Amino acid sequence: MKALSSAELRIDNLDDELQFTILRERGWIGIALGSSAIAGFGTYAVLQQSVLSLCCCFVGVAGLAINWAQGPYTVFRISNRRLTATGNLERWSATDVSIAASDVKSIGWSSGGNDRSSGIYVWHGQNGLKSTCVLPSLSDKKAQAVTDSIAARFPQFIIKSAPVISVSLGLEG
């Protein structure tokens, strides 16, 4: 086990589709910090006899358990007809998503924000206002490899990343 978390990206060029697979390996530092934070918060909740704090602690434990149960893999497949993502999408309830290719307005990397993960997003629906993360926890460098592959194989999809928002500098393009 490594000290820091890592994500390995594999790109497979299949017959009529591209398949992107991410394997995440959790680092022991992240596991130790997350577990310590929840244990510390739980201890505080018990000592203070705070039911609300204890409930928050249980939500944190449930989130870790759900993430662990979903596994370390995310698979994203894209074809001329459909985009599908399965596996660990870093959501509480969904482990798969499917979007008709005709519904897609653009595909690109987003830094996330508002409790959303960074990664590859698909903007779809009327006016492209709905966004769905299909490859979560992906760095911008790995996302560039994904979008380059999509643009080369499926030029009909618009590749357009969301702007990066910085608290200190504002919009960073």
The pLDDT tens digits of the residues spanning 39-84 come to 888 888 888 888 888 888 888 888 777 777 778 889 999 999 999 9
pTM (whole model) above 0.85:
no
* Strand pairing report for 82-87 and 73-79: antiparallel
Start-end of CATH 2.30.29 domains in the chain: 10-24+75-162
* Residue 13: Cβ within 10 Å count: 10
pLDDT tops 70 at residue 168: no
State how far the alpha carbon of 172 is from the alpha carbons of 11, 72, 111, 165, in Å. 29, 31, 11, 6
Dist CA 139 CA 162 (whole Å): 14
pLDDT at 149: 94
Backbone angles phi, psi at 76, to 5 degrees: -120, 125
Does the structural domain 10-24+75-162 have CATH classification 2.60.40? no
The pLDDT tens digits of the residues spanning 126-140 come to 877 788 989 988 888
**Segments of the chain assigned E as strands:** 6-13, 17-25, 73-79, 82-87, 96-100, 104-110, 119-124, 130-136, 165-166, 170-171
pLDDT at 131: 87
The pLDDT tens digits of the residues spanning 69-125 come to 778 889 999 999 999 999 988 877 778 999 999 999 999 998 877 777 888 999 998
Query: Token pair 């086990």 is at which residue?
Result: 1
